[in-house]
A = this chain, B = another copy of it.
Amino acid sequence: MRKIVDIQKKLLPDLLVVMEKRYDILRWLYLSGTIGRRTLATNLNMTERVLRSELEVLRAQGLLDTAAAGMTLSESGRQLVEEMEPIVKEMFGLSDLEETVRSAFGLKRVIIVPGDSDTSDHFKMELGRAGSRVLRDILSPGDVVAVMGGSTMARMAAQFAIPSQLKDNWFVPARGGLGESVDYQANTIASELAKRTGARYRMLHVPDHLSEEAYQTIMQEPNVREVVDMIRSARIVVHGIGDAETMARRRKLVDETKAELVKDGALAEAFGYYFDRNGKVVHRMATAGLRLEDIEAAGMVIGIAGGRSKGEAIASVMRFGHDDILVTDEAAAIEALRHV
């Protein structure tokens, strides 16, 4: 059954909202017994006319009976509601979890995909797809998007698909180069996104970690300066979330710094910063890329991460409090809630 639901989600994403709308109507009728059109419209937060069109469909299907005193579910309508319960749960079941997570961390929006990214690549792909959909939906003409690196971000970029070309958007890497695989570089991801959408991109050919001296020198370069200015003015920031230890290893931090991080209780990494369990930044450094103040100033910060093992790190970064949207999976969401 799950399969058919998944297929429909892919094939008819625009129609799922209709389904939900109709189900809501039936469900309300199921609970209210007889009720009038206007009352129903108020309760369901619809305008009268829209509700009416839906009611006409439902009536034509013989799911509801109309009398002068109001409308009632017909026998087959009642039956349908009862049979639908588990299916709706399957289809929209994560919405409850989404709402719980959203309010727990005070976010604007939470998207949860089914599964656990730790267990299968399939779920990682789905996470990427979900992330790309979110980004697509909030993208407005003229937006500059700063993207971080990482495998999740790379998958997001690979799954990005839009109905029509973007013309006046920019994708920029949020930070400089890291000693990692080229596929996971922020630079690579920015260019991939731009290529897939017809948007433009800039690259930041600068190492992420700089001495203060080198930083000052390189910022003198006009073309670096220009890109950095654009990065810092990004309206949208998209980033992954890692656990501190893994990231420290990947970044090839010296043992000394690692020990310091452990001492400070660093748990999570995001935007190149390390966070402790309370979402406090425990390690920061000079960077040519996005600084914390730019993140705070950005209009829309989107975090993407999944897998049970990342739950705690996600909770930590969310407590930092500057994310607007979180895209995660079921397992990570549940785990994150344990660390609120």
Query: Which residues of chain A from 42 to 100 have a CB within 8 Å of any chain B CB?
Result: 56-57, 59-63, 76, 80, 83-84, 87
In the complex the two chains form, is B61's CB within 8 Å of A11's CB? yes
Contact B60 A162, beta carbon cutoff 8 Å: yes
Contact at B129–A62, with CB atoms within 8 Å? yes
| Nearest-CB residue, chain B, relative to A53 | B163
Q: What residues of B have a CB within 8 angstroms of the CB of A162 in the complex?
A: 59-60
- A5 contacts B by Cβ under 8 Å: yes
Q: A163–B7 contact, CB under 8 A?
A: no
The answer to whether B19 touches A11 (Cβ under 8 A) is yes
Set of chain B residues within 8 Å of A22, measured between Cβ atoms: 11-12
Most chain B beta-carbon contacts within 10 A, residue among A1, A18, A56, A60: A60
A5 to B12, CA, bound (A): 14
Q: Does A4 belong to the interface (CB within 8 Å)?
A: yes
Residues of B with C-beta under 8 A to A18: 12, 15
Determine whether A120 belongs to the interface, using a CB cutoff of 8 Å to chain B.
no
Q: Assess whether A338 is interfacial by the CB under 8 Å rule.
A: no
Cα(A18)–Cα(B18), bound, Å: 13
- Across the interface, name the chain B residue whose C-beta is closest to A61: B10
| Least distance between A278 CB and chain B CB atoms (Å) | 38
Say what secondary structure dominates the interface of chain A.
Answer: helix
Is A206 an interface residue, CB under 8 A from the partner? no
Q: Which residues of B contact A281 (CB under 8 A)?
A: none
How many chain A residues touch B (CB < 8 A): the figure is 37
Decide if A13 is an interface residue (CB 8 Å cutoff): yes
Q: Does A3 count as interface, using CB distance less than 8 angstroms?
A: yes
Inter-chain contacts of A164 with B (CB < 8 A): 56
* Distance between A154 CB and nearest chain B CB, rounded to angstroms: 15
Name the distance in Å between A168's Cβ and chain B's nearest Cβ: 19
The reply to whether B159 and A62 form a contact with Cβ atoms under 8 Å apart is yes
The CA-CA distance from A212 to B59 in the complex, in Å, is: 46
By beta carbon, the residue of chain B nearest A65 is: B161
CA of A30 to CA of B145, assembled, Å:
35
* Pair A163/B59 contact, Cβ less than 8 Å: yes
Q: Which residue of B lies closest to A161 (CB)?
A: B62
Determine the residue in chain B with the shortest Cβ distance to A63. Answer: B10
Distance, CA A56 to CA B162, complexed state (A)? 8
Interface core residue of A11, A18, A61 (most chain B CB under 10 Å)? A11
B-side contacts of A3, CB under 8 Å: 83, 87
Q: How far is the CB of A59 from chain B (nearest CB, A)?
A: 6
Provide the residues of chain B in CB contact with A76, threshold 8 Å. Answer: 10
Indicate if A14 sits at the interface (CB-CB under 8 A).
Answer: yes
Instruction: List 13 additional contacts besides A4-B87, A11-B23, A60-B161; criterion CB under 8 Å.
Output: A3-B83, A7-B87, A10-B76, A11-B19, A11-B22, A11-B80, A11-B84, A12-B15, A15-B19, A56-B164, A59-B161, A59-B163, A60-B163
The list of the 3 closest CB pairs from A to B, nearest first, reads A56-B163, A62-B161, A60-B163
Q: List 14 A-B contacts (CB under 8 A).
A: A3-B87, A7-B84, A10-B61, A11-B22, A11-B23, A11-B80, A12-B15, A12-B18, A56-B163, A59-B161, A59-B162, A60-B136, A60-B163, A62-B161
